[in-house]
Structure 1
Amino acid sequence: MADTPQTPERLCEQCKHRSVPPTLGSKPRRYCSRSCVQRAYEARKTQRLLAAAVEQEKERQTRLMVAATVQLERERAERERLLAAQAAPAVEARGGKSREDAAAAGAKSREDGAGQQERPGKSREDAPAPRGARPKRVTDYLRGAPKMGW
């Protein structure tokens, strides 16, 4: 008797329980039955669909992040524009001078005795806040501003 090499028994790639019958042609079999072939096909199909859904969700999340970033940037630009518009009357009240020039002129006028009357542009809101009061925030200035409907 000649020693014939024995091939190890292969298990079904789908169910992993039953052995695969010997090949009938040139291509080795992978599954034990037609039902395992069908279940393997459905598993591959589900895996492809799941991978496509995950990829779509990643793209959707990226689009949402970009849209949110653009929205925040627009809101920031609008806040800066509103704050600049609110600061413009204060500059006009100083006669177009810088804060340092206006402060120096105010100190000189106080030395001369002028400026006893109330200065224009000053109101209760410009007065120093009482002790313990919180400082003004950007949102305090924006309360009266129109809503942005993007």
Structure 2
Amino acid sequence: MAVKICTKCGESNSEGSLLCVACGSSLKDAPIEGTLNADKEYPGSTTAAKCNHCNEHLEQGALKCRYCGTVVTRRAKSTPYYSYHTPSNAERSGSSGMETFGRGCLWLILGTVGLLFLAFLTHSTINIPWFIFIPIVILVFWLAAKKSK
């Protein structure tokens, strides 16, 4: 890493600095020591890669083999990521929210039909019109379903 040395106080500053961090003077003509980041070379892998098809050496960073034209494939250098799924309470119990909703609606419908059937069989003497009776029955079953949860 290259650093600029302040000519007034001698403080080391990063190579892109325009002012000294210690005294605030200009670093326009300050000498640079070390290798500039732009001049550094990062060789990457030191072992030469080989073509999987013709077994010839590949140039650094090549995408295709210059001898046979095969596209170069490289393995990922990172470790694979494994996701661990933790089941929710509904999955552990074996029933989803939709199944529970379906069972609740089934009992609501069957209960309403059963009560209507019972009322017609016994010829009930209660003088409640059917368009008022059905919403009352639905309300009762809905409240019962809410309390059972």
**What TM-score range do you get, normalising by the shorter chain?**
0.3 to 0.5
Normalised by the size of structure 1, how large is the TM-score? 0.35
More helix by share: 1
Name whichever structure is richer in strand by fraction.
2
Question: When the two structures are superposed, what TM-score results if normalisation uses the length of structure 2?
Answer: 0.35
